Amino acid sequence: MSHHSTERRVVVTGLGVVTALGRSMDALWGNLIEGRCGISRITAFDPAPFDCQIAAEIRDFDPSPAFSSPKEVRRNDRFIQFAAVAGLEAIRDSGLELEREDRDRVGVYIGSGIGGLHTTAEQHRILLEKGPGRLSPFMIPMLIMNMAAGCFSILHKLRGPTLATCSACATSAHAIGEAWRTLKMGDADAIFAGGTEAAVIPLGLGGFCAMRALSTRNDDPQRASRPFDAQRDGFVMGEGAGVLVLEELEHARRRGARIYCEIAGYGNTADASHITAPAPEGEGAARCMRMALRSAGLRPEEVGYINAHGTSTLQGDICETQAIKAVFGDHARRLPVSSTKGATGHLLGAAGAVEMAICAQVLQTGIIPPTINHEHPDPECDLDYVPGASRQAQVDVALNNSFGFGGHNASLLARKFRG
């Protein structure tokens, strides 16, 4: 074991999410283990002209509890609003009393893959129709992708290490990993870490359609996202946010915090292969998982559950399966691997954090969520994907994978907390 008594340990003490499958962690978890799905036909605009007409869309979203006034709500893009609401749930869930904390030692690592796309599209429309004189003075701060972190730190007067990661679909897993590092270095006592995304608009949907990355099973939205299933035909976009409270162990103990799990290791590698396709045989992902295991001082056979990146794309699911087999060998056959994206859709920059919150619940409850819609075995995807229904299992260590365009890989290891 690599843990010296002097080494700072990092635990998860708060969870907050905003997703189409549930606006709170309790709602998300309940729906997830029941095998429900948050994907439906898009209502925010008319999706008829698009090849893909479905998404995990958050309807009737009310951001007002996280802000002081309706004016403040209007001055923040939807991606910032999602982060503010998820972050507020994380504060409440953690029991952190911020007015009693040294705010110089509480930080915010909240990233986004795409940032304020609503603002970008709307302001571009105004520029073309009405000219530059009508652009909003808030345009730039509303769309730049550091502003979920910036605004959250301002809202709660958090003055510690603050950063916005951006690595496409690996964004929020990297945020959590980098926050873990910062806490281990001793530069903060607690960090709000995660990601947020609000790209379900015509421009975002159209762009992913043009790549042929999305499922076109428009007549059956609930069964469109089918990770590792032989009939998968692409991912389904989701929107929302996930924010976790990462805390140095002794700091958490002193205030009697409830501890979900301990963050044990982190891997961060690049494929250096292709802008969107994974490296052949998932080579970069395999190196990433190995790095996470090494940094945690854990053996592959100690891992009891993998929350896969598993987006339901043809190549991605195969490469991740190959990578898991390369890293885990014989143990891969006995290892439950589920992708929750069948239920939540793919939250892009927020995916890793929402899935890390799910891993925290797995370690807390001993329930593994299913891969829904996994009905037809794919000979190239031949692991135990926990098809159909959740199951009870003894899980001491969970691995969370997130892989992004550009060849960015992130793996996070969490273990059941034992004093």
User: Tokens standing for 72?
Assistant: 């403040």
The answer to whether 261 and 14 have CB atoms below 8 angstroms apart is no
306: nearest Cα among 388, 167, 411: 411
The span from the CA of 101 to the CA of 373, in Å, is 45
The answer to whether 11 and 252 have CB atoms below 8 angstroms apart is yes
Tell me how far CA of residue 374 lies from CA of 107, 278, 317, 351, 381, in angstroms: 39, 22, 12, 20, 11
User: Exposed (0-12), middle (13-18) or buried (19+): which is 7, by Cβ within 10 Å?
Assistant: exposed
251: which residues sit within 8 A by CB, 6+ positions away? Answer: 189, 190
User: Tokens standing for 409?
Assistant: 């890989």
User: Tokens standing for 75?
Assistant: 């001055």
309 catalytic residue (yes or no): yes
Catalytic residue, candidates 52, 169, 261, 319: 169
156 catalytic residue (yes or no): no
3 catalytic residue (yes or no): no
Catalytic residue, candidates 118, 174, 251, 346: 346
Element (H, E) at 33: helix 25-33
Catalytic residue, candidates 118, 174, 251, 309: 309
Instruction: Quickly count: other Cβ atoms within 10 Å of residue 137's Cβ.
Output: 8
354: nearest Cα among 193, 144, 116: 193
The length of the chain is 419
The span from the CA of 245 to the CA of 179, in Å, is 10
Which strands, in side-by-side order, build the sheet including 240-248? 162-163, 106-111, 190-197, 240-248, 10-18, 261-270, 408-415, 397-404, 305-307, 337-338
Residues annotated as part of the active site: 169, 309, 346
